[in-house]
Structure 1
Amino acid sequence: MKLFKRAVHAVVGLALAVTGVVSLGGTAHAGSSGQQLMVVDNKDTAASVKVIGLDQNGNSVQGCFNTPNFKNGIGGWWWHGTVTVVAYNGQNCTGGDNWSGYTSVPSYRAGGDWWAIVTNDNAPSTSQQIEFFDNQGIAYSMYVEGTNQNGQGSSHCVATPSWDSFDSNWWWRGEVHITTYPTGNCSGSSNGYHVRYVNGNGSSSWFGVTN
C-alpha cells in the first residue's frame, strides 16, 4: 500500500461513523469485487476527504465524506485499483486541503472487504498504543520493538487475529519496528517488516498502522 505524507497517507476503522456524505459522482454499490475504505486519521487534521477512483464495476466515481473521528468507515462505496484521497480542513471538502495521496486497493482481500488508509507523521510528540489493520490478510501476530512512554527500549509479541487488532496497554513513541508472522505467537518465518513513527499528535490514544 502506498503510504501518504503531507500530500500524504490515509486511514479507516470498525466504528462506522461517516456523516454528511456528499455525492460527487455515481455511487458504488456492494459487489463481488473491491473494498470499502476505512480512513484512519493519525494526524487528527482531516475534517473531510474526497475519494476518487474506480468502483467494483470499473466506473469512475468520486465522493466527499466527513471524517470527524480517528477511524472513519466509508460504507457502501466499493473501490479497486488506484484510489486518490484528498483531505480537507473543513467539512464537505471545504477549507482547503491539508494532505493528499493514493493507495492501490485490491479487488479481493483475504478475510474481509475493508481496506485501511492510514496517515503517518515523523514528528513524535506523546506516546500512543498501536492499532494494527491487516490489509494483506496475512498477519496473525506481530513483534513490536521500539521506545516506550518512559524512553526505554521495549519489545513484545501480540496476537493479531482480525483485520483490526489492538496492542493494548503498550505505549510507544517515535520509531517502531513491526515484524508480522503467519502464526499466532510470532514463531516461524516472518511475512512482513514495517517501520512506522508513532507521533502522538492526534487526540486519540491509538495510532493506526497497516501493512
Structure 2
Amino acid sequence: MITRKKILTAAAAVGMAFTCLLSGAGSAAAGTNGQKLYFHQVYSQPHATYSVLVQGYNEQGRWVTGCFNTEGAEWKTLDGWWWVGQVAYSTYPFYNCQGTRIYSNTAQVPKDQGSQDWVVIQG
C-alpha cells in the first residue's frame, strides 16, 4: 500500500514539474526570441481604436494573424503573442477588427532587445 502511494505521489510530482516546464517555456524563451506588442492609441479622431489586427511571424517562425481588442484604451498590451521581424498592423473602430480600417502601418520587432520584451506600436 505504501509503495503504491509513493509511486502515485512521484508520478504526480513529475507530471506537475513537466506541466510547469511547458507552461513557462513560451514566455521565457520568447524574451530572447521575440517581443510582445504594446499598443499606443494616438489617432483618436474621428474614431477611437477598439481593436488592432496584427500579422507577422511569431517566435516559432510561423506566419500568424491576431485580432486584439483594446477597449478604446490609450495604452494596451496585446497579450499572449510574441512577434519577430516585420509586423503589419491595422486599427479598427469596433471590437473584433470590425468596421472600416482607421490606420495601418508596419513595425520592426527585434528578436532580442536585452531587458525589454515589448515593442510599442502606435495607431
What TM-score comes out, normalization by structure 2 length? 0.69
Match of 2:4 in 1: none
Over the matched positions of the two proteins, sequence identity in percent amounts to 33
- Superposed counterparts of 1:147-166, under 5 Å: none
* 1:76 equivalent in structure 2: 80
Corresponding position of 1:48 = 51
- Which structure 2 residue ranges, 5 or more long, are not aligned? 1-25
Whose helix fraction is larger, Structure 1's or Structure 2's?
2
Give distance in 2, aligned partners of 1:71 and 1:63.
18
For 2:53 and 2:61, locate their aligned partners in 1 and report how far apart those are by CA, in whole Å.
18
Residue by residue, what CA displacement relative to the aligned partner does 1:119-144 show, whole Å, maximum 9, x if unpaired? Answer: 3xxxxxxxxxxxxxxxxxxxxxxxxx
1:86 equivalenced with 2:90 (yes/no): yes
The answer to whether the aligner puts 1:63 opposite 2:62 as a matched pair is no
**Normalised by the size of structure 1, how large is the TM-score?**
0.41
Match of 2:102, SS state, is: strand
Q: Which residue of 2 aligns with 1:39?
A: 39
Instruction: Tell me, in whole angstroms, the C-alpha distance in 1 between the residues paired with 2:56 and 2:122.
Output: 17
* Runs (4+) off by over 6 Å: none
**CA shift at 1:118, angstroms?**
2.0
- How many residue pairs end up in the alignment? 91
2:106 aligns with 102
The one-letter amino acid paired with 2:54 is: V
CA distance in 2, matches of 1:59, 1:92: 22
Q: Which string of whole-angstrom CA distances, capped at 9 and with x for unpartnered residues, describes residues 6-50 of structure 1? A: xxxxxxxxxxxxxxxxxxxxxxx4334000000000123211010
In structure 2, distance between residues paired with 1:117 and 1:35: 12
Distance (Å, rounded) in 1 between the aligned partners of 2:42 and 2:92: 14
For residues 43 and 98 of structure 1, the distance between their equivalents in structure 2, rounded to whole angstroms, comes to 9
Structure 1's unaligned 5+ residue stretches are: 1-28, 120-211
Q: Distance in 2 between matches of 1:56 and 1:42?
A: 27
- Offset, 1:110: 2.0
- Work out which structure has the larger RCO, using CA pairs closer than 8 Å and 6 or more positions apart in sequence: 2
RMSD of aligned alpha carbons: 1.2
Rg bigger for which structure? Answer: 2
Aligned counterparts of 2:97 and 2:82: Cα–Cα separation in 1? 20
Deviation per CA, 1:154-180: give whole Å up to 9, x if none: xxxxxxxxxxxxxxxxxxxxxxxxxxx
